[in-house]
Amino acid sequence: MDDKNINHVCQKIIDKFSPEKIILFSCKHSPSGRLSSFKLCIIVDGGDADMVEHDIYMVIDCDIPFDALVYNKSDFDKISLRSGSFAQRIVSEGSVLYEKQK
């Protein structure tokens, strides 16, 4: 993704929260074609996903609105296998922007 706002938010998340994976699963554009909002799914290994989500909103500033949906890796791995689940849709339709090297 070449949008500077998405790249900025992703880099801040990587630097501060060291996620396993970041997936872009929605982005909206204005009639003129400019990005107007986006949604990220952030997979973390361990810790409190709700607290990480809260901290993302407290720490990261962006010029356009964004949503962050944070899952623990073990939970995401399980529910993403369920046919028709929201997590499965994120995996099948989203774009992986970052994945931690193993």
In whole angstroms, give the CA distance from residue 48 to residue 72: 8
- Give the pLDDT confidence score for residue 47 in this predicted structure: 83
Q: Kindly indicate the confidence band of residue 2, based on its pLDDT and cuts at 50, 70 and 90.
A: low
- Give the pLDDT confidence score for residue 24 in this predicted structure: 98
- Give the pLDDT confidence score for residue 62 in this predicted structure: 94
Q: Distance between terminal CA atoms of the chain?
A: 22
One CATH from 3.10.450, 3.40.50, 3.30.460, 2.60.40 for 4-99: 3.30.460
- Give the pLDDT confidence score for residue 79 in this predicted structure: 96
pTM across the whole model = 0.93
Domain ranges of the chain: 4-99
Q: Please give the average per-residue pLDDT across 79-89, as a whole number.
A: 95
Do residues 81 and 89 lie in contact, with contact meaning Cβ atoms separated by under 8 Å? Answer: no
The pLDDT tens digits of the residues spanning 25-76 come to 999 999 999 999 999 999 999 889 999 999 999 999 999 999 999 999 999 9
